Amino acid sequence: MVANTTKVAAGRDRRPPKCPDCTARGDSATLTLTHDDGCPVGRGQDETSAGDREFFETHPNAPHMVRPLGWAEGIALKTLGAVPPHTDLTGWRVMVRQLAPGVRTRRYFPPRGGA
């Protein structure tokens, strides 16, 4: 099994990220976090990523899609310091763009009217 890796934009909190559910320690230079096999957060991210892949396989001409933020993505955003740890992520959305098969970017948005 391939471990799930999350990467967020640089320029945020530079402390080494640490998963709350496994022994994963991040790389503060690249802001990536590779989960242990079986980590619930890693598994949740794998499932979300699989759903995104399936969307673009069944909608090959779609430039992007918008969906609710997945629970594991929320944990990853907090773990990696992309949002403050006590941010209420209720109602946040994700815009997913496929650059090439298997290569997708994600932008995270608070609910309309603010976070």
Q: Which amino acid is at 33?
A: L
Instruction: Tell me: does residue 76 bind Zn ion (CB under 5 A).
Output: no
Q: Does 77 bind Zn ion (CB under 5 A)?
A: no
112 HSE (CA, 13 A, CB side)? 0
- Regarding 72 and contact with Zn ion (CB under 5 A), the answer is no
* Residue placing its CB nearer to Zn ion in the complex, 69 or 72: 72
Looking at beta carbons only, is 13 or 21 nearer to Zn ion? 21
* Count of chain residues binding Zn ion (CB under 5 A): 8
75 binds Zn ion (CB under 5 A): no
Q: Is 42 left (phi over 0), alpha (psi -120 to 50) or beta?
A: alpha
Question: Which residues, listed in sequence order, are joined to residue 100 by a DSSP beta bridge?
Answer: 103
The mark string for 21-60 relative to Zn ion (x by CB under 5 A, - otherwise) is xx-x----------x---x-xx------------------
What would the DSSP string read from start to end of 18-68?
A: B-SSSS-B-BTTTTEEEPPTT-HHHHHHHHHHHHHHHHHHH-TT-SEEEEE
Contact footprint for Zn ion (CB under 5 A): 19, 21-22, 24, 35, 39, 41-42
